[in-house]
Amino acid sequence: MKSKAILAVALLLAMALAAFAIPAEDTDAANKIEIELKDGNTYNVSKGSTVTLTLVYTNTDRNYSSDVSVYVSGSSTPVTTETIRFIVSDQPVEEKISFTADKSGPMYISFTKDVHDKIYFKVNFETSIWDNWGIYAAIVIVVLLIVIFVVYKTRTAPKQKNQLTFEQIEAERQAKAAAPKAKTEAPKSERQRYLQSKKK
């Protein structure tokens, strides 16, 4: 009878030790892990760009696998979901999760298996003057006005005579001086005109 009792106690002790010896992976986290965002809680990005969140955690408890999802505040559909394995470490460990920034505003990260509370952050879209089509329209209008002004000034400007160099002017002067002068008739008197008309 005593041997059976001793055997039962031994079996109970063996089962208890075995339970502590088995690694507690993929179980609900009894003690939450310390997690924070490495780059702060505000992200200024361009719309459509990729946002990478760097999670820095310290886990001195046990190994956990958790589905980490990113949500836009007020939405029940995650922007992205990744499974992250949080390993035991006495030093900070980094894990990254990325998504495309299609919407701006408040967002949060949620963890399954009670690994950590929600982590809230905000995405802001950077604004650029080149995102406004009005800027392009204004540039086109200014260019057209400049072209019209240049064409108008070109057509209305008085035509200037060809400007000759000193050598060309001197050559023309010498050419005119060398040309034979046409004989000019002396003015005729009334009598000469009368006699000339009689001859005809």
The domain spans of the chain are 34-126, 129-157
Contacts 24+ apart (CB under 8 A), 25-30: 25/62, 25/63, 25/64, 25/65, 26/64, 26/65, 26/113, 27/62, 27/64, 27/113, 28/113, 28/114, 29/61, 29/62, 29/64, 29/66, 29/113, 29/114, 29/115, 30/61
Run of H or E including 93: strand 89-100
* pTM of this structure: 0.53
Higher pLDDT residue, 26 or 57? 57
Cα dist. 65→26, 37, 86, 115 in Å?
A: 5, 19, 6, 9
Task: Give residue 25's pLDDT.
Answer: 47
CATH number of 34-126: 2.60.40.10
Highest mean pLDDT among 23-27, 81-85, 146-150, 171-175: 81-85
CA distance 172 to 147: 40
Q: Can you tell me the distance from the alpha carbon of 153 to that of 41, in angstroms, rounded to the nearest whole number?
A: 59
Q: Check whether 36 has a pLDDT greater than 50.
A: yes
Q: Is the dihedral of CA 42, 47, 52, 53 positive or negative?
A: positive
Give residue 27's pLDDT band: very low, low, confident or very high (50, 70, 90): very low
The pLDDT, as a whole number, for residue 24 is: 45
pLDDT of residue 17 exceeding 60: no
Return phi, psi of residue 95, to 5°: -135, 145
SS3 148: helix
pLDDT digit string, tens, across residues 63-111: 989 999 999 999 999 999 999 999 999 899 999 999 999 999 999 999 9
- The more confidently predicted of residues 144 and 197 is 144
100-154 pLDDT, tens per residue?
Answer: 999 999 999 999 988 889 999 999 998 766 666 777 788 889 998 899 988 888 8
Query: Measuring CA to CA, how many Å separate 99 from each of 8, 93, 123, 155?
Result: 56, 20, 12, 59
Task: Output the pLDDT for position 31.
Answer: 53
Between 2 and 30, residue with greater pLDDT: 2
Distance of CA 166 to the CA centre of its chain: 60
Given a cut of 90, whether residue 45 has pLDDT beyond it is yes
